[in-house]
Amino acid sequence: MCGIFGMTGHKDAGRLAYLGLYALQHRGEESAGIVTYNRKKAIYYKGMGLVSDVFDAKTVKSFRGDMAVGHVRYSTTGSSLAKNIQPFLVKHKRGYIVIAHNGNLINTIALHDEMEDRGSIFQTTMDSEIIAHLIVRYLNRGFKGSVISALSQLRGAYSVVIMLDGLLIGARDPYGFRPLCLGKLDGAYVLASETCALDLIHAKYIRDVEPGEIVFIDRGDIKSVKPYVKQKSALCIFEYIYFSRPDSNIFCNNVYLTRKRLGRRLAHEYKLDDCDLVMPMPDSGSYAGIGFSQESKLPFEFGMIRNHYVGRTFIQPSQFVRDFRVRVKLNPVKDVLRGKKVVIIEDSIVRGTTSRARVKTLREVGAKEVHMGVSCPPIVSPCYYGIDFPTKRELIASKRTVKQTGDFIGLDSLQYLSLDGMLKSMPLAADKFCTACFTCKYPTKLPKKFSKSILERG
């Protein structure tokens, strides 16, 4: 997963991109980059780590130009490479090309091989570089024509912000897997993965870029095209369940309220009348936890407190504290939990190992019973469209029954929200969503073989 941002026609575009990336930090903590453009020269600022680590006051002060494109990258296993920091920037005789991409393409290997056979040389393993090569290939069709032709070659999930010389472009794949919204500030257009980035810079939300739409923004002028064959939409339902920020509106609807509805629906399906309290696993389980508490009438408590100031640690945990990795992030409140029958609300279970460690901690501090409600169905299949789930083999629900999963985690009982319950909690019709990680029904054709690296991109 990644967060993307673009702005044109504002004298503070670089600084506002920096703020926008702050708001999108949850979408990627591995690296951050901003390209600013003053209509003559593009300048690249980038680095590994959080936005606050990468850009210092001096850098932010030095931003020049009325255009900027920014990106935060999610840390995926084994691909923590400085050369893969985005946005991707190249200088071409026709001008600068800058690309920030969110999502995973599923035909990367085929495109890559075909381009190498034609003589292209790649510097990175990023999808964005492939998009840049395709744009250059079609530049004789004009800037707009080249983008339309380039994007038509892509399969899979992409929300992109592209800067092509002085033109800012935003696009979503025809299925609309990943979000992208359009806003305006002081007459200047902004593109961002989530509306929370618009809120932070006081930009007004205008609308979402629609699935299959490309918007071309030339300072204050905007043109929209939908050049591709219309597809049945496949919005990523996981954006609502876990990934997006609760204060964002995704696919035109609020995430916080949706998560609360998931929790309410779960309370209908999971009756635990004699429990003492409901507690979330902070922070992502909090909103479903509130919904569950309101519906079940069980009191809501924070049984685990999150430490918001955890950076990287360089000590060997085992030498000091047995369950250091769990406790450094979440510490139990003993006096709330001792002797109590508790229901934990989780947004999802992937491998089950983190939940297992946390449940063990609750038992150690004296919780009498530990039950768990999960605000989505079991995740049984990997995502090929940009969410960094592990392989099928590592997904606990793909190889264990619900009872076996509960036993592995160390629970008195475990219940997932049903597929029907999840879909009925959504603010949009069920057929608008991709649910492949729960159902194995992928909305696109998948290539026969994925290399490991394809799951490392995005």
Taking Cα atoms as reference points, which of 17, 26, 318 lies closest to residue 192? 17
The DSSP element (H or E) to which 101 belongs, if any, is strand 95-102
- State whether residue 203 is helix, strand or coil: coil
Hunting for tokens 């100031």 — which residue is that? 309
Least distance from ligand SF4 to the Cβ atom of residue 436, Å: 4
Binding of ligand SF4 by 1 (CB under 6 A): no
Query: Which residue has the closest beta carbon to ligand SF4?
Result: 383
- Do residues 94 and 112 make contact, with C-beta atoms less than 8 angstroms apart? no
Identify the H or E element spanning 23: helix 13-23
Shortest distance, position 408 Cβ to ligand SF4, whole Å: 22
Determine if 237 is a binding residue for ligand SF4 (CB under 6 A).
yes
- Which residue, 151 or 455, has its beta carbon nearer to ligand SF4? 455
Query: Alpha helices of 104-253 — where are they, by DSSP H?
Result: 108-117, 127-137, 142-152, 195-200, 238
Contact call for residue 236 and ligand SF4 (CB under 6 A): yes
Considering the complex, what minimum distance in angstroms separates the CB of residue 407 from ligand SF4? 26
| Dihedrals phi, psi of 3, to nearest 5 degrees | -120, 140
Please give the Cα distance from 243 to 245 (Å, whole number).
7
Site map 78..107 versus ligand SF4, x via CB under 6 A: ------------------------------
Indicate the residue among 46 and 261 with the shorter CB distance to ligand SF4: 261
* 181 vs 383, beta carbon nearer ligand SF4: 383
Q: Least distance (Å) from ligand SF4 to the CB of residue 157? A: 7
Q: 431-450 mask for ligand SF4 (x: CB under 6 A)? A: ---xxxx-------------
Sequence length of the chain is 458
Per rule CB under 6 A, is residue 376 in the interface with ligand SF4? no
At residue 103's C-alpha, the angle toward residues 217 and 259, to 5°, is 100
- d(CA 260, CA 375) in angstroms, rounded, equals 9
Which letter does DSSP use for residue 243 in this model? Answer: I
What contacts 356, CB < 8 A, 6 or more positions away?
A: 408, 409, 410
Binding residue (CB under 6 A) for ligand SF4 from 99, 105, 372, 387: 387
Site string for ligand SF4, 168-187 (x = CB under 6 A): ---------x----------
Residue 3: count other Cβ atoms within 10 Å of its Cβ.
28
> Is residue 342 close enough to count as binding ligand SF4 by CB under 6 A?
no
Site for ligand SF4 in 280-309 (CB under 6 A): none
Contact pattern for ligand SF4 over residues 186 through 225, marking x by CB under 6 A: ----------------------------------------
Residue 258 touches ligand SF4, criterion: CB under 6 A: no
Cβ 383 to ligand SF4 shortest distance, Å: 3
Under DSSP, the state recorded for 242 is I
* Binding-site member from 37, 63, 385, 416 for ligand SF4 (CB under 6 A): 385
User: Which segment (70-78, 349-357, 382-390, 448-456) binds ligand SF4 by CB under 6 A?
Assistant: 382-390
| 143: three-class secondary structure by DSSP | helix
Nearer to ligand SF4, 32 or 237 (CB): 237
| Phi, psi angle pair for 81, to nearest 5° | -115, 135
By C-alpha distance, which of 283, 172, 190 is closest to 236?
172
Cβ proximity of 414 and 423 under 8 Å: no
Whether 383 sits among the annotated catalytic residues: the reply is no
Which residues, other chains included, contact 453 with Cβ-Cβ below 8 Å and sequence gap of 6+?
79, 125
Which CB, 149 or 258, lies closer to ligand SF4? 258
At its nearest, how many Å lie between ligand SF4 and the CB of residue 389? 7
Could you tell me the two tokens for 23? Answer: 């708001």
What residues act catalytically?
2
Positions that interact with ligand SF4 (CB under 6 A):
177, 236-238, 383, 385, 387, 434-437
